[in-house]
Amino acid sequence: FTPECYPVPVRPRINFANDFSAKFVGRDSPQVAARLNQFGGLSTWRVASGGRMGMVLGEDAVEVAPPATTCVANCQAQDRVKGKFPVLGFPFPVPTASRVTPQFP
């Protein structure tokens, strides 16, 4: 690897979109939280005291970037990637085989 290209830890993510706009794309962005279960459109999470559930929208949602750091107090934006990781894009419309279904247990 070179300074411009180095390995990045990437965890499984939940991406979301709609059938109306190719520009609407997002992904989950938890901090000090773990997904316990996923069933269609319903997920269960364990969020530590001080942790958060967040989301990222737009191009940042499809960029291969490291997950948020573990911080529960006096947190500040860190590890800003400033466009140095590849942007994978997102299919539109989302193929039926890639959709999370059924919506409810």
Query: Number of structural domains, the chain?
Result: 1
Residue 37 maps to a domain: yes
pLDDT digits (tens, 9 = 90+) for 20-70: 888 888 888 888 888 888 877 778 889 988 888 888 888 778 877 766 667
Cα four-point dihedral sign 14, 16, 30, 5: positive
Range of the domain at 74: 15-94
Residue 99 maps to a domain: no
pLDDT of residue 97: 79
Rounded-to-integer distance, Cα 92 and Cα 12, Å: 20
- Residue 21 tokens read as 């706009």
**Can you give the pTM of this predicted structure?**
0.61
Residue 4 maps to a domain: no
